[in-house]
Structure 1
């Protein structure tokens, strides 16, 4: 992050800290998330659904916390979290974000996959294999420092609001590859949910090598000082990883 941009981010945090209302233990904990990232999280008939949503509900049960879950386009969710209006789930770590957020322990492992059109496959082993290509990604998303370093230097990002529009752009030849996650299940769910994609499902090819292992966390702006809340969340997450609950939830999708 450039020094001037980083300064603006910290000033934003300072202003948010001054304006944020005091939190009380009994208050619902506002947590933002992505509204179009199946099978991790999405909205269906006005209800939040997905792997991360189910994990968060189980965290509520085990921790005694009450969560006010708000799903919306990722960039807006991220900006709300940066402005200290609440926490955010599905958050990846990178250098910039670690300066701005307090992170929970590991919530979920999101394996991101590259999807291309049949006949346009290419060998993928490292970021360098994307040189000169246009890659469809979620608007405002980061998948670690390696991704951030390669963006606009090795590949050109084409940002959008969801996987459906990304695969449609791929089908139309407007991008070279679409980054979709978590795993192959997300690709199948996205294709099954759109008539045009279903009609052309045989045109999509998932490259063998995963793009990246994207560890997902819950994060709160540092100015909110949610360390006590995070301790409760962490105890619940540790228990869920140890007793297999996370895997059971994932298997439902």
Structure 2
């Protein structure tokens, strides 16, 4: 009798756990090395490892949905995905629309130029009179537009080839986060270099729809992020991809 009750209790526990598990539909571009990219037909990168670590904590399944970066916000708004893991920067405008998790990446905006031109752009003031490329849908266009000399900067948006056009001199520079820029330069044969120091702190987090269901999911994911921070998993993932811990503010 006791054995029968134990088996029944175990079955109920398994059934309850299965009922609680969800499928997280996570959007990403799959084209932003080393955060999210495809190699040998395998989606990988910092964001992929990060989301898989969260799912290991929550017990959820993960369905990665890849699309162009510019379409990710619309997919979140319409419910096609539950969140975006693609270096989404917290901004006042985005906070007004979405419920954000705690930050898990701390970075800064960085100017990148063709190698040999580093001295021509030592600071953002030197961007005056220049054509500067940014990724379409990223926060860097907004950052540049907020500069005191914004009226003197020609901003060009790109879906791809941003690094190639800079190396070929078709644009004077591009702006990306410093972490990705340094990794891109290290991995690419293109003649590129960092110009000046980073400007404007960047805090990346996971956005969720700002409704009861979205905020409840955010809270559950946030608890998992805290666990990953406390047990060192987030630091391990960061050091794997960047050789440094980008999950804490300097």
TM-score, normalization by structure 2:
0.76
Matched, 1:129 2:126: yes
Q: Unaligned regions of 5+ residues in structure 1, if any?
A: 1-23, 192-197
Residues 182-202 of structure 1, C-alpha deviation per residue, up to 9 Å, x if partnerless?
52123323x1xxxxxx2xx4x
TM superposition score normalised by structure 1: 0.76
Match of 2:183 in 1: 185
Equivalent pairs counted in the alignment come to 217
Q: Determine the structure 2 residue equivalent to 1:252.
A: 240
Give the 3 Å change call, closer, same or farther, for CA 27–62 of structure 1 in structure 2: closer
Q: 2:162 aligns with which of 153, 161, 166?
A: 166
Larger mean CA deviation between 142-151 and 211-220 belongs to 142-151
3-state DSSP of counterpart to 1:230: helix
Structure 1 residue 25: Cα displacement: 5.2
Q: CA deviation at 1:156?
A: 2.4
Partner of 2:192: 204
| Structure 2 counterparts to residues 221-232 of structure 1, below 5 A | 221-223=209-211, 225-232=213-220
**1:217, distance to aligned residue in structure 2 (A):** 0.7
> Where do 5+ consecutive residues of structure 2 fail to align?
1-18, 242-250
**Deviation of 1:100 (Å):** 1.1
Q: Is the 2:131–2:154 contact (alpha carbons within 8 Å) kept by the matching residues of 1? A: yes
The alpha carbon displacement at 1:51 in A equals: 0.6
Residue pair 1:28, 1:68 contacting (<8 A) in 2 also:
yes
Distance 1:41 1:153 in 2: 33
> Which residues of 2 match residues 2-13 of structure 1 at below 5 A?
none
- Shift, 1:209, TM fit: 0.4
**Contact kept in structure 1, 2:144 and 2:150, CA below 8 Å:** no
State how far apart, in whole Å, the 1-side matches of 2:21 and 2:42 are.
24
Deviations 1:19-71 (A, max 9, x none): xxxxx954412111122110111122332211111111101011222221112
* Cα separation, partners in 2 of 1:98 and 1:166, compared to 1, 3 Å: same
CA distance 1:226–1:128, change in 2 (3 Å): same
| In 2, Cα distance between equivalents of 1:118 and 1:58 | 37
| Contact 2:29/2:68, CA 8 A, preserved across alignment | yes
**Which residue is equivalent to 1:56?**
51
Residue 58 (structure 2) pairs with residue 45 (structure 1)? no
User: Shift in Å at residue 152 of structure 1?
Assistant: 5.9
Superimposed CA distance per residue, residues 136-171 of structure 1 (whole angstroms, 9 cap, x where no aligned partner): 211111149644524963522221224xx1111012
Q: Identify the residue that residue 151 of structure 2 maps to in structure 1.
A: 153
Distance 1:113 1:239 in 2: 31
Measure, in 2, the Cα distance between the counterparts of 1:25 and 1:128: 53
In structure 2, the residue matched to 1:106 is 103
Partner of residue 68 from structure 1, selected from 36, 50, 63: 63
